A and B are shown apart, each in its own frame.
Chain A
Amino acid sequence: IAGITQAPTSQILAAGRRMTLRCTQDMRHNAMYWYRQDLGLGLRLIHYSNTAGTTGKGEVPDGYSVSRANTDDFPLTLASAVPSQTSVYFCASSESPSGEQFFGPGTRLTVL
């Protein structure tokens, strides 16, 4: 693989269920990010990690959790999904402190 992969590509989920979105990068980038994109609102940062073992909260962290056990993987977990979490989720990474981030293909999540 090259770049960032996300799984699943899409998912329909019942409200109240737990869901983990997976993100893996093979570029050995230090920093990784999770965004959600809703129509008309651009991308909003959910959580981020500047290096393995550390995480931080973004603009819209409520209802989501992340972990960063190693450099390559950065899973996003919805503990109990709600319909307002219906969105397209993008994972991204960056090599250094700059404005350049590399994005994965996204996961389209629908919570019913």
Chain B
Amino acid sequence: GAVVSQHPSRVICKSGTSVKIECRSLDFQATTMFWYRQFPKQSLMLMATSNEGSKATYEQGVEKDKFLINHASLTLSTLTVTSAHPEDSSFYICSARDTRTYGYTFGSGTRLTVV
């Protein structure tokens, strides 16, 4: 089945630094990648939708300059949290839609802690 590999699974960084999260589709072409953020005991919140080769579409209230998304190839999308602050600490999950099956494949998530 379709697999999305997400790295790192866990990262701790200092306030003010930037962190990059990678998601790779291993056995299918992910023309579209969805990036989510999840706070403890809450549902998934869609941050942005990225399409290969074009600019990402951000949801209302999400700062595009803070959460940089790059989707340069059909198998790789990255989310960079720039100048991270403790309030950016969260669980970030990527998801790609497999148009062969109309299913959504999720990465295993990245737990970001900013200290």
Q: Decide whether A and B assemble into one complex.
A: no
Chain A interface residues (CB < 8 Å from chain B):
none
Residues of chain B having any CB pair with chain A under 8 Å: none
